[in-house]
Chain A
Amino acid sequence: MLHPVPTLKETPSQTAGPYVHIGLTPNFADIKGVYEADPGSTMLTPDTKGERITIAGRIFDGAGALVNDALVELWQADGDGSYVAPMGPNSNSAPAFTGWGRQPTNAEGVFTFETIKPGPVPGPDGKPMAPHVNLWIVARGINIGLQTRLYFEDEAEANAGDFVLNKIMDPRRRLTLIARKEPGEVPRYVLDIHLQGDKETVFFDM
């Protein structure tokens, strides 16, 4: 036997529906007093090391309308390219950087994460992948969560050698994953997600 044969089947997905904000960002949805803060609303602490950045974008549907009822989660490495080690079940101390964020799209269809720029993470061949964050998007009308990545415009050399970006045959579609940089005291990286259409974002089966 090479490895165990799965004996169970994964629970099938169902849409997060129009009220996902109630469940996953209740304070944003005006349900106050149940949780002190919405999970994942803050990724940074004063002790977080690394370059502060903002990651933001809008989500568009196939009719060009802004999707203002979505939820976006982000998972990324720290500034050194390491993923946070799992916390023990009885851990009382939050790590200085969790690597995980969760944000709703607001009334204008915009999501915003205050985070740090991730370092390069080793790929399967040992060669570093270009700095990136993983995004997971759910909403009404999305039957199973959409998985994608966001890369950084100012990492052109690393992006050119990234094995994931290079799996995308059409170079124009590669651009759907590369956030443009708006310089500032805290640099802002902006990437719009398109669920359909000429600019449809590349989504992964990962």
Chain B
Amino acid sequence: MSGIILPGADGALYQRNRDWHPPADTPGYKSTTFRAPKHALLSLGGTASELTGPTFGHSSINPLDNDLIRNYSQDGSEAIGQRMIVYGQVLDENARPVPDTLVEFWQANAGGRYRHKKEAYLAALDPNFGGCGRTITDENGFYSFRTIKPGAYPWPNGGNDWRPAHIHFSVFGHAFAQRLITQMYFEGDPMIWQCPIVGSIADKSAIDQLIARLDRHNTTPMDALAYRFDIVLRGRRSTMFENKLEGN
């Protein structure tokens, strides 16, 4: 079945809704003051350079890469903290799963301390916790990893600002212009609503998209709680090659 060429159906990505994202300059988050570009972004419709992107074979990933409880174990011990599984589906704006894409994550340990030489917080390091991991989505766009719940921690921004417990995510998609970094928060945490970095997002329902839900059905009994965090990447308009009889 050859496709029908529809007006405007050029396979470009939907334009990014910049109002849904944080603006560059958010005074409440002071680090943006000298790092936010002042000129308006120059609008550029997608070319091959933006509509293609790197891909990663499943064979490039080791079995422990998605297990932060064990992937930095120095002496065979497991990381300290509340054990949990984080999982979810990577979709595009057309609600189509994004299979075979690299998802990376990093976080503080259970005490809220990062394993980084510039980190000055007094909470102790856990010798068996490195704080990074990765996986590749399956054919239905699902990812999962095992970790411990990160602690909240104070940071030098205002006089007494604390970051809510969170996990950083990096996702690729299939086009370089879909590239996304974000942070996942935990359902029910009152500190979400006091955080200047969370507050860089204007729309409360956009913030809500960053909050993982406790999922009792997928807990591992006597072992780990489960949290579900779905991620939506920019969607693409159809191309003639993608049009099938049943539509898409």
Residues of A within 8 A of B (CB): 2-4, 6-24, 26, 29-31, 33-35, 39-40, 61-63, 65, 67, 69, 73, 75, 77, 83-84, 86-92, 94, 98-100, 121-124, 129, 132, 134, 136, 138-147, 149, 164, 167-168, 173, 195-196, 200-206
Total interface residues in chain B, CB < 8 Å: 98
A23 contacts B104, C-beta separation under 8 Å: yes
Q: Which of B36, B59, B93, B136 contacts A9 (CB 8 A)?
A: B93
Interface of chain A, helix or strand or loop or mixed?
Answer: loop
* A9 touching B232 in the complex, CB below 8 Å, given contacts A14-B182, A200-B38, A203-B37: yes
* Complex interface: chain B residues within 8 A of A205 (CB): 15-16, 18, 41-44
A143 contacts B65, C-beta separation under 8 Å: no
Closest Cβ of chain A: how far from B3's Cβ, in Å?
A: 12
* Complex interface: chain B residues within 8 A of A195 (CB): 34-37
Pair count A-B, CB < 8 A? 282
B117 interface contact, C-beta 8 A: yes
* Complex interface: chain A residues within 8 A of B41 (CB): 203-205
Q: Which of B223-248 contact A (CB under 8 A)?
A: 231-235, 237-238, 248
Closest Cβ of chain A: how far from B1's Cβ, in Å?
A: 17
Interface of chain B, helix or strand or loop or mixed?
Answer: loop
A3 contacts B6, C-beta separation under 8 Å: yes
A144 contacts B24, C-beta separation under 8 Å: yes
Bound-complex Cα distance A126 to B121 (A): 55
B20 contacts A9, C-beta separation under 8 Å: yes
Bound-complex Cα distance A13 to B34 (A): 19
